[in-house]
C-alpha cells in the first residue's frame, strides 16, 4: 500500500522568524497524525533552523528547488550537497520554475538525477497550462514531461538498473499540478485529477514496469484547501497533496493532513 504524503510548499513566503512561528503553531497537530508522511518546504534560509526544530518529530523537510551541479560558479544557486543532511525531499520542475524561470524538461531531468545521486527524494512536478488543457493536449504534455525528466533513470535505458527502478517507490514522488489551477482558486475536480494521475501511472509503467508504477506515490497540487482535500483524497489514484497557500495557515494545513490520513486510512482498512 502507498503511504499518503502531504507536502506544504511555502514558496517565497515567511521570514526565518515567521517560519519558526508557523512550525510552532502546527507542530503538535501534525506530529500526532499517523498514517501519512508530512513534509514542509520552506524557503532555503529557514532550512537550518527548522531542521533543528523538527528533530525527533515525524515531520520532514523539503527544499523548493536545487541546481544540478555539486559546486561551482553558479551565483545564487543551491547544490544538492548543500541540502544533504538538512532535508529529505526537494521539489523539482514546479510550474513556477518552468514558466517564470525558463526551466526546460532537460534541465529538470538533470536535477532529478542529481537529487537521487545525492540521497534526496525529488517531488517531481508535472502539469499542463490552460491552453494545452483546452486543446486536448494534457496527456501529450504530461507524457513528455514525465519521460524526459526520468530519462536515464532506472529501466528505460539499455542495461538499466532494475534494482534502482524498483527502489523508485521509496525515492520519488510525482505531483500532478495543472498550471491553470495553481494559486488561482480554481482546482481541478477529483475526477479530472484522478484520471490524469492514472495516465501518469501508465506512463511510468511504460518507463519501468507495472509493479514499480503502482508503488510510486502521485499526489495532486493546485488550489488544495481544507474544504476540497476530501474530494481528492477519496480517489484511490491520488496519494495526497502538494499544498501551496493553505500550507501557510497552520490550522488549515493540519486539517488537510488529518483528512488525508483519515480517508486514506479508511481506504486501506476497507481493502484488507
pTM for this prediction: 0.93
Q: Do 61 and 39 meet the contact criterion of CB atoms below 8 Å apart? A: yes
Could you tell me what percent of the chain has a pLDDT over 90?
82
The highest-level CATH class for domain 5-270 is alpha beta
Q: In the prediction, which pLDDT does 185 show?
A: 74
- Do the Cβ atoms of 164 and 212 come closer than 8 Å? no
Q: Report whether 197 contacts 237 (CB < 8 A).
A: yes
CA 112 – CA 135 distance, rounded (Å): 29
- Asked whether the predicted pLDDT for residue 269 surpasses 60, the reply is no
* 205-218 pLDDT tens trace: 998 889 989 999 99
- Over range 100-115, report the average pLDDT: 96
Give residue 61's pLDDT. 98
Is 231 an active-site residue?
no
- Bridge partners of 9, per DSSP, are 41
Instruction: Give residue-wise pLDDT tens across range 148-160.
Output: 999 888 644 334 4
Q: Which of 35-39, 75-79, 88-92, 184-188 has the lowest mean pLDDT?
A: 184-188
Within 8 A by CB and 6+ apart from 84, the residues are 118, 119, 120
Mean pLDDT of 156-180: 70
Backbone torsion region of residue 70, taken as left when φ is above 0, otherwise alpha when ψ lies between -120 and 50, otherwise beta = alpha
Domain residue limits, the chain:
5-270
Residue 177 bears catalytic tag: yes
Q: Find the mean pLDDT for residues 23-41.
A: 97
Q: Which listed residue (37, 94, 128, 258) is catalytic?
A: 94
Model confidence over 211-251: pLDDT tens digits? 989 999 999 999 999 999 999 999 999 999 999 999 999 99
Q: Are 221 and 211 in contact (CB under 8 A)?
A: no
Q: Which three cell numbers stand for residue 65?
A: 528547488
Choose the catalytic residue: 37, 103, 128, 177.
177
- Element at 43 (helix H, strand E): none
Q: Give the pLDDT confidence score for residue 154 in this predicted structure.
A: 67
Amino acid at each position: 500500500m502507498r503511504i499518503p504524503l502531504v507536502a506544504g510548499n511555502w514558496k517565497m513566503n515567511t521570514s526565518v522568524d515567521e517560519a519558526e512561528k508557523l512550525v510552532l503553531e502546527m507542530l503538535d497537530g501534525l506530529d500526532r497524525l499517523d498514517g501519512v508522511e508530512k513534509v514542509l518546504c520552506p524557503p532555503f534560509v529557514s532550512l537550518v533552523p527548522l531542521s533543528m526544530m523538527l528533530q525527533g518529530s515525524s515531520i520532514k523537510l523539503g527544499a523548493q528547488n536545487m541546481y544540478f551541479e555539486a559546486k561551482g560558479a553558479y551565483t545564487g544557486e543551491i547544490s544538492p550537497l548543500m541540502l544533504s543532511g538538512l532535508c529529505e525531499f526537494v521539489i523539482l520542475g514546479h510550474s513556477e520554475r518552468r514558466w517564470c524561470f525558463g526551466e526546460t524538461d532537460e534541465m529538470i531531468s538533470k536535477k532529478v538525477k542529481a537529487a537521487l545521486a545525492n540521497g534526496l527524494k525529488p517531488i517531481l512536478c508535472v502539469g499542463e497550462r490552460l491552453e494545452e488543457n483546452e486543446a486536448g493536449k494534457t496527456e501529450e504534455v504530461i507524457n513528455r514531461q514525465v519521460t524526459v525528466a526520468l530519462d536515464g533513470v532506472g529501466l528505460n535505458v539499455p542495461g538499466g538498473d532494475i534494482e534502482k527502478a524498483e527502489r523508485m517507490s521509496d525515492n520519488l514522488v510525482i505531483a500532478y499540478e495543472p498550471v491553470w489551477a495553481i494559486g488561482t482558486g480554481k482546482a481541478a475536480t477529483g475526477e479530472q485529477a484522478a484520471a490524469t494521475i492514472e495516465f501518469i501511472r501508465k506512463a511510468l509503467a511504460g518507463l519501468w514496469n507495472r509493479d514499480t508504477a503502482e508503488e510510486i506515490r502521485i499526489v495532486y497540487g493546485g488550489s488544495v484547501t481544507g474544504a476540497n482535500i476530501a474530494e481528492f483524497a477519496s480517489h484511490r489514484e491520488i496519494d495526497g497533496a502538494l499544498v501551496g497557500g493553505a500550507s501557510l495557515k497552520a490550522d488549515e494545513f493540519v486539517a488537510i493532513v488529518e483528512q488525508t490520513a483519515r480517508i486514506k486510512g479508511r481506504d486501506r482498512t476497507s481493502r484488507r
